[in-house]
Amino acid sequence: MKKQHLKLVIISIFSIAIIAILYFSLFKGQIFAQPQIGATKPPIEMSTTIKALNDAYQNAANAVIESVVNIRVKFKQDRKGKTFNLFPFDEDDPFFKEWQEFFKRFHDEGESDVTAAGSGVFITSDGFIVTNNHVVENADEIRIMTFDRKEFKAKIIGTDKWTDLAVIKVDGEGFKPVHFANSDEIKVGEIVIAVGNPLGLSSTVTSGIISATGRGGLNLIRPEDGSRANLAIENFIQTDAPINPGNSGGGLFNLNGSLVGINTAIATRTGTYIGYGFAIPSNLVKRVASEIIKKGKFERAYLGVYIKTVDQTFAKALKMKEVKGAIINQIEKGSPAEKAGLQVEDVILEVDGKKIESSSDLQLEIAKRLPGDVVELTILRGKEQIKKKVKLETRDSSIAEKTDSEDFEEPKPGEPTNIEKLGLVVTPLDDKIKSEFNVNNGVFIKNVTKRSLIYDRGLSPGGVIVKVDDKEINSVKELKKLIDSKKPGDAVLFKIKYKDATSLVAVEIPE
C-alpha cells in the first residue's frame, strides 16, 4: 500500500511539473518576457544604388579627414587697433554685419590677447598647410591640431592677400596631403563635402552640391591695408554644403576625396550658414601655394586692364549676338595690355582658347599664368574678332597704391566712400550739412568701424572732418589722396567739427 501511495505521489508530482512546464511555456510571454521594442526589420531595404552612395560619402569623409587641421591663432588685442575677422566682410554692410557680434563670443574683451579659430589642409607630407590669408594674417602665434588631437606650432611661409590664401608650416613627417582635383572640370550639381572645424567643433563633415562656379564681384576679399578691392581675384565655387565660422581655410572635396577648393566665406544675414558658401578653386590654390613654397610669395601675372562683365545691356549696346566676355573700361599706362595694343571697349572672349564668360573668368585665367608667359587673347573689337598676344609681367604693388587715389572720382553728396585703411565711411558735404555744422569745407563722417584704431582714439560718426595735418579738406578725393600718401606708422591729426563741439583726434596709419 505504501508503494502504491508513493507511486501516486511521484506520478502527481511529475504531472504537476509537466502541467507547470506547459503552462509557463504557453503563457510565459505574457507574464515574464519584455515586450518587443521596435520592429524586427527596417521598413525599407536600402537599394544597391543608395547603399553605394552612402558608402561613397563615408569613404570620402574617412579618406580626407586626416588631411584637415584645426588652426588656432592668437593676436594682440591692440595690434593695429583691430581684432580678427573670422570671415572677410564689411561690418558696415548689413549683409555681413552679424559676424562682428558673433566674433565677440570667441574672446574676453578684458584680456590682452584675442584667440580665433580656422581650418587648413595639408598639401605636402612634410607639413606644409594651405589656409586663408585672413585666418593667419597678423597672427602673433599659430598652433594647429590634427585629427588625432596632436598639436604643433606653425609658422607662416607666405601669404597672398589678393587670393586670400596663405601657406603655413609645421615640423614633422608623414602627414597626409590632399589630392588636388582639376577645378576647371567641376560641374554644377556635383556632390561635395566640406571638412573643417566650425564653431569650435573639430573634424566636422557636411555635404552639399556645387551650386555655381565662377562667382565674382562679391567683394568678399577685402585686404586690411586699404588696397583696391578690384585687384582681388574672385572666382569662387559656390556650394550649399553648410559652412560656418571655423570652416574658413578648410577643404571642399568631391566624392573621390580630391580637393575641389578652399572654403573661404559665406553669405549670411545671421552670422551663420543660411545656404551659400564660397570656395577658392583648387587650381588657383595649387598655383598660389606652389609659388609661395618656392619663393615665399605669389608673383602675380599682370595684364593691366580694368574690366567689367558683359551683361545684356553691354551686349545690346555693342551689338553682340551673345552675352559673354569681359569688356575693358580702362588700361593702365605702361602695362602689358597697352604694349600689346589692347583698347578700351575691347571685349575679351578667350584666353589661349579658353572661353571667358565674365570678368572673374579673365582674372582667374591670368592668375594661373606666370610673369613672362605669353597669352593669346581673342578679342571682339567692333564687329571684328581679332587675336592679340600679350606678354604678362609681374604686378608692381606700387601701381595699386598709386592708382587708388589718382583714379578716384569724387562721389556725389550723400554717396558713401569707404576709407578702408582707417575704417571710415565719409561723404561729400551738401548745403544742408554745411548749414547745420556752420562749415564751408570738409567731408561728413557717416560711419566709423567699431574697434578700429581711429574709433578707439575717439573719432565718432556725425561730424565733419575739416582739416587733416592742418590742411583744409575740400573733398573726399583730397582726403583719400592725403591718407594714401602716408606710410604705416605715420601720425595723422584730424580736426573734426561736431554740432556742439570741435575735436582733435591723432591716429597712426596701420601697417
List pLDDT tens digits, range 122-145. Answer: 999 999 999 999 899 888 899 999
Between 424 and 171, the more confident residue is 171
- Say what the pLDDT of residue 93 is: 45
- Say what the pLDDT of residue 96 is: 42
The least confident of 45-49, 214-218, 400-404, 486-490 is 400-404
**Rounded mean pLDDT, 285-303:** 90
The least confident of 136-140, 227-231, 442-446 is 227-231
Secondary structure element (H or E) that encloses residue 157, with its range: strand 151-160
The least confident of 28-32, 244-248, 397-401 is 397-401
Q: Let me know if 179 is a catalytic residue.
A: no
- Say what the pLDDT of residue 178 is: 96
- Residues 495, 442 contacting (CB under 8 angstroms): no
Q: For 326-336, what is each residue's pLDDT tens digit?
A: 999 888 888 89
Contacts of 11 by beta carbon, 8 Å cutoff, 6+ apart: none
Closest CA to 253 of 87, 119, 68, 55: 68
Identify the band that residue 359 occupies on the pLDDT scale cut at 50, 70 and 90. confident
- Residues 73, 141 contacting (CB under 8 angstroms): yes
Q: Let me know if 134 is a catalytic residue.
A: yes
The mean of the pLDDT values for the chain is 81
Cell numbers for 271, please give them: 552670422
Q: For 399-428, what is each residue's pLDDT tens digit?
A: 433 334 445 678 888 888 888 778 888 999
* Res. 80: pLDDT tops 80: no
Which one from 203, 248, 359, 452 is the annotated catalytic residue?
248
**Rounded mean pLDDT, 13-28:** 66
The least confident of 101-115, 167-181, 279-293 is 101-115
Identify the band that residue 24 occupies on the pLDDT scale cut at 50, 70 and 90. low
Side-chain half-sphere CA neighbours of 334 within 13 A: 4
Residue with cell 613654397: 293
- Say what the pLDDT of residue 79 is: 40
* Residue 66, number of CB atoms within 10 A of its CB: 16
**Rounded mean pLDDT, 212-234:** 62
- Burial (CB < 10 A; 0-12, 13-18, 19+), residue 26, is exposed
Report how far Cα 27 is from the mean position of its chain's Cα atoms: 67
Whole-number Å distance between alpha carbons of 448 and 423:
6
**Rounded mean pLDDT, 201-208:** 87
Closest CA to 277 of 254, 255, 261, 259: 261
**Rounded mean pLDDT, 67-73:** 94
Contacts of 364 by beta carbon, 8 Å cutoff, 6+ apart: 214, 233, 235, 281, 284
* Res. 396: pLDDT tops 60: no
Between 507 and 325, the more confident residue is 325
* Res. 316: pLDDT tops 80: yes
Which one from 164, 240, 404, 484 is the annotated catalytic residue?
164
Cα dihedral 31, 37, 38, 40 sign: negative
* Res. 38: pLDDT tops 70: yes
Closest CA to 251 of 190, 188, 199, 203: 203
Q: Let me know if 183 is a catalytic residue.
A: no
- Say what the pLDDT of residue 110 is: 47
- Say what the pLDDT of residue 9 is: 66
Identify the band that residue 116 occupies on the pLDDT scale cut at 50, 70 and 90. confident
The winner for highest mean pLDDT among 80-94, 255-269, 375-389 is 375-389
Whole-number Å distance between alpha carbons of 243 and 136:
19
Residue with cell 552640391: 209
**Rounded mean pLDDT, 86-114:** 46
Which one from 67, 90, 134, 335 is the annotated catalytic residue?
134
Q: Please enumerate, as own/partner, the contacts of 103-108 that have beta carbons within 8 Å and a separation of 24 or more.
A: 103/245, 107/77, 107/83
**Rounded mean pLDDT, 248-271:** 84
β-strand partners of 129:
122, 168
- Residues 259, 251 contacting (CB under 8 angstroms): yes
Between 353 and 117, the more confident residue is 353
Phi-psi region of 200 (alpha: psi -120 to 50; beta: other; left: phi over 0): left
* Res. 357: pLDDT tops 70: yes
